[in-house]
C-alpha cells in the first residue's frame, strides 16, 4: 500500500465478481495481471487504468479463446479468436469486431480470406472450399454481391 492505495503486486477479490492477481498502481489494475470471473472465465494480460489494454489472452466459460491486442477492454488490432466448435478467425479487430484484413476458418473446413467491416465480410474476399477450390467475390456487410 502506498497512500492508502494498492501499489505493486497483489490480489483483490470480490464476492460475486471475481478475483484479480497482478500489478496495481495508485489503487488501480495497471500492468500485468490475471482476472478470473466466478464462472471460471479468465483474462491474462496487460491492464491500464483497470481495463484490459495491450496484449492478452481471454478464455471464456464456453472454452472459446481469444489472444491478441486489446484497447480499453475491446479487441483492437491483431488477434485470433477460436470458437469451441473449431471455427477460427485470424486478423484485425476494431472495437471488438472483425474489421480490416483477416481469415475466417469455418468449422466445416471452408475459409474466407479478405476484408471485414463491423464484424462481417465486407469488400473483396475469396472463399475456399474444403477441396481447395477458390472463388473471388465482393461482399457488402455479410451479403455476397458478385
Q: Give per-residue pLDDT as tens, 31-83.
A: 999 999 999 999 999 999 999 999 999 999 878 999 999 999 999 999 999 99
Q: Which residues contact 137 (CB under 8 A, 6 or more apart)?
A: 125, 126, 127, 144, 145, 146
82, three cell numbers? 477460436
Domain of residue 34: give its range.
Answer: 1-61
The pTM (predicted TM-score) of the whole model is 0.90
Residue 32 vs residues 4, 26, 70, 75: alpha-carbon distances, Å: 21, 15, 13, 17
pLDDT recorded at residue 16 = 85
Q: Is residue 67 part of a domain?
A: no
Q: Is residue 29 part of a domain?
A: yes
pLDDT recorded at residue 61 = 84
End of a domain among 61, 92, 112? 61
Amino acid at each position: 500500500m502506498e497512500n492508502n492505495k494498492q501499489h505493486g503486486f497483489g490480489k483483490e477479490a470480490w464476492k460475486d465478481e471475481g478475483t484479480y492477481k497482478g500489478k496495481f498502481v495508485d489503487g488501480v489494475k495497471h500492468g500485468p495481471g490475471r482476472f478470473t470471473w466466478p464462472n471460471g472465465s479468465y483474462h491474462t494480460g496487460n491492464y491500464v487504468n483497470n481495463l484490459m489494454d495491450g496484449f492478452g489472452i481471454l478464455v471464456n466459460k464456453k472454452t472459446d479463446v481469444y489472444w491478441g491486442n486489446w484497447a480499453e477492454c475491446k479487441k483492437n488490432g491483431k488477434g485470433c479468436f477460436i470458437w469451441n466448435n473449431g471455427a477460427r478467425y485470424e486478423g484485425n479487430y476494431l472495437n471488438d469486431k472483425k474489421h480490416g484484413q483477416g481469415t475466417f476458418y469455418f468449422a466445416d473446413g471452408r475459409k474466407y480470406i479478405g476484408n471485414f467491416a463491423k464484424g462481417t465480410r465486407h469488400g473483396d474476399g475469396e472463399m475456399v472450399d474444403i477441396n481447395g477450390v477458390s472463388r473471388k467475390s465482393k461482399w457488402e456487410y455479410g451479403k455476397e454481391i458478385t
